[in-house]
Amino acid sequence: MDAIRVRGGKALSGSVRISGAKNAALPILCATLLSDGASRLRNVPDLRDINTTAALLRFLGRNVTVNAPEVHVAAGSDVRPEAPYELVKQMRASILVLGPLVARFGRAKVSLPGGCAIGARPVDQHLKGLEAMGCTIRIERGYVIAEGPGGGGRLKGAEVYFDIPTVTGTENLMMAAALAKGRTTMLNCAREPEIEELGRILNKMGAEVDGAGTDVMHIRGADRGDLAPFDHAIIPDRIEAGTYMVAAAAVEGSDVRIDGAELSDLEALVSKMRSAGCEIESEGHGLRVRRKGPLKPVNITTAPHPGFPTDMQAQFLVLMALAKGESVITETIFENRFMHVPELQRMGASVALRGNTAVVQGVDKLYGASVMATDLRASASLVIAGMLCDAGDETEVRRVYHIDRGYERIEEKLRGIGADIERVKGAEA
Ligand code: EPU
């Protein structure tokens, strides 16, 4: 297994280009199931999760060519509307094939994803919405088995209220509604930019989606058996952008341009970073991040978009680990998303965990150590922490396969802006 070695003491400068958004590409790849034509996606990041989705689509009978940053998907000969546990367990976003499969083929059998390192992550809201659209749903031996009305018929438009705004739940039902008969109204939808992006795709494909990116969405399904194919370039990844912004701000004296970062998608993070003493300015299609003075403590509470993103909590906590004073970080989205804290404590961070809050007392510096990545964003926070140690003080971040799920060539990109970082192949063998 590979590891990432990082040594501190280097200010960052220059520019880093942000890749396409993983969490926009995944539902869009699944949306290709709604069409029999050949679709082309551009600006797709070169990530493990993209390859897992491609493998899943191939298993379902599609022809998929991944040649990052392009992916081509076309219908194959046989469709097998079944997503096996072996693939779903590698990436829980695989549940995103459920809505399109049952809408397009009248039935689907998809493994329940189960829990993961950050929480239980149920899918009850996805299932409740499909039932409202006329699906019969059974859970058998760990699988969701969904059938359209009358034993495999076309879904019907419905009114769906989400008890909790769910990103992939909203996306699954958007794709189901795009081929359902009549109009679907969805209330209390998640509002992430990736959902707006899926709305753009479904409109290109011939459905009528109104309100994607707001909490109320209306969707009129296309009156035909399948949707049109599309050609589309994916939006930049706001969480990758946010991660490089925090890395730049964490190392004093850095001055980094984040190419492709959109201020409008990152407002909560930008506001909190500015309160912490970071300088962030829009520059064309990018942001410039600097920090000259000391970091100030700032409290954050994660919330659905446009609130502070849970996917930036671990990285922001590292910033606060060096702030002058106490900050309180509250995680409201996932119940187990502080797995990075014990690793950061081993590097000298002073953090007390109380339920869903982390109380951070800033320290003067962190110390290099061997640490273990537990999930994607936690791994990124450990890499940033390694950059905050003294010159020559080395941190080894293990289990980097988590990072490879969601950060394209992170060590190359960080090295490109001056970090002392390398990937060590087979370090954990
Ligand atoms: N929830 C339910 N029932 C449901 C669905 C969700 O109770 O049926 C709960 C979840 O347990 C959680 C909350 O609702 O407490 C929000 O979860 P959501 O469904 O929005 O999360 P998700 O769709 O599974 C996506 C991203 C995550 C990101 C979250 C929150 C994708 C592929 N994944 O997950 O991204 O953290 O939204 O913003 O879009 C990552 O990229 O590292 C990542 C984990």
Query: pLDDT by residue (tens digit) across 349-364?
Result: 999 999 999 999 999 9
Q: How confident is the model at residue 428 (pLDDT cuts 50, 70, 90)?
A: low
pLDDT tens digit string along 15-32? 999 999 999 999 999 999
Q: What is the mean pLDDT of residues 145-154?
A: 96
**Same-domain status, 215 and 155:** yes
3-state secondary structure of 354: strand
pLDDT for residue 314 is more than 80: yes
* Atom 4 (ligand 1) nearest CA: 123
**Same-domain status, 370 and 247:** yes
In a domain, 83, yes or no: yes
pLDDT for residue 429 is more than 90: no
**Same-domain status, 56 and 103:** yes
**Same-domain status, 12 and 151:** no
In a domain, 177, yes or no: yes
In a domain, 145, yes or no: yes
* Atom 29 (ligand 1) nearest CA: 167
Pick left, alpha or beta for residue 264 (phi over 0 → left; psi -120 to 50 → alpha; otherwise beta): alpha
pLDDT tens digit string along 224-259? 889 999 999 999 999 999 999 999 999 989 999 999
Q: Which of 19-23, 29-33, 111-115, 380-384 has the lowest mean pLDDT?
A: 111-115
The residue segments making up the domain with residue 345 are 3-19+236-424
CA distances from 28 to 74, 89, 118, 246, 402 (A): 13, 20, 24, 28, 22
Q: Which of 166, 194, 224 is the last residue of a domain?
A: 224
Q: Which of 163, 194, 224 is the last residue of a domain?
A: 224
* Atom 37 (ligand 1) nearest CA: 167
**Same-domain status, 267 and 402:** yes
Q: Which atom of ligand 1 is nearest to the CA of 23?
A: 39
**Same-domain status, 265 and 173:** no
Tokens (6 digits) for 131:
């039932």
Q: Which atom of ligand 1 is nearest to the CA of 126?
A: 8
259 pairs with which residues across the strands? 17, 286
**Same-domain status, 292 and 172:** no
Q: How confident is the model at residue 321 (pLDDT cuts 50, 70, 90)?
A: very high
d(CA 359, CA 47): 33
Residue 73, C-beta contacts closer than 8 angstroms, at least 6 positions apart: 29, 32, 38, 39, 41, 57, 62, 63, 64
Catalytic residue among 30, 116, 278, 389: 116
Q: Which of 224, 259, 293 is the last residue of a domain?
A: 224
| Predicted pLDDT of residue 286 | 96
Q: How confident is the model at residue 201 (pLDDT cuts 50, 70, 90)?
A: very high
Which residues sit with their C-beta closer than 6 Å to ligand 1?
Answer: 23, 26, 93, 119, 121-126, 164, 166-169, 190, 310-311, 333-334, 376-377, 406
**Same-domain status, 13 and 64:** no
pLDDT for residue 75 is more than 80: yes
Mean pLDDT in the chain? 95
| Predicted pLDDT of residue 427 | 79
Q: Tell me the percentage of the chain whose pLDDT exceeds 90.
A: 91
H or E stretch covering 204: helix 193-205
> Is 389 known to be catalytic?
no
* Atom 20 (ligand 1) nearest CA: 166
The CA dihedral of 198, 199, 200, 206, to the nearest 10 degrees, is 110
Number of domains in the chain: 2
In a domain, 229, yes or no: no
Q: Which atom of ligand 1 is nearest to the CA of 26?
A: 32
d(CA 227, CA 375): 35
**Same-domain status, 94 and 178:** yes
**Same-domain status, 372 and 398:** yes
Q: How confident is the model at residue 380 (pLDDT cuts 50, 70, 90)?
A: very high
Q: How confident is the model at residue 79 (pLDDT cuts 50, 70, 90)?
A: confident
Residue 180's CATH number: 3.65.10.10
Q: Which atom of ligand 1 is nearest to the CA of 309?
A: 38
pLDDT for residue 204 is more than 70: yes
DSSP structure class, residue 80: -
**Same-domain status, 171 and 88:** yes
51 CA → ligand 1 middle, Å: 20
Residue 47, C-beta contacts closer than 8 angstroms, at least 6 positions apart: 22, 404, 405, 406, 407, 408
In a domain, 343, yes or no: yes
* Atom 33 (ligand 1) nearest CA: 23
In a domain, 429, yes or no: no
pTM above the 0.95 mark?
yes
d(CA 246, CA 249): 5
pLDDT for residue 418 is more than 90: yes
- Peptide bond before 69: cis, by omega within 30 degrees of 0? yes
167 CA → ligand 1 middle, Å: 6
321 or 224, which is more confident? 321
Q: Which of 178-182, 224-228, 278-282 has the lowest mean pLDDT?
A: 224-228
Do 44 and 69 form a contact (C-beta atoms < 8 A)? yes
**Same-domain status, 54 and 8:** no
In a domain, 290, yes or no: yes
119 CA → ligand 1 middle, Å: 10
| Predicted pLDDT of residue 296 | 97
In a domain, 231, yes or no: no
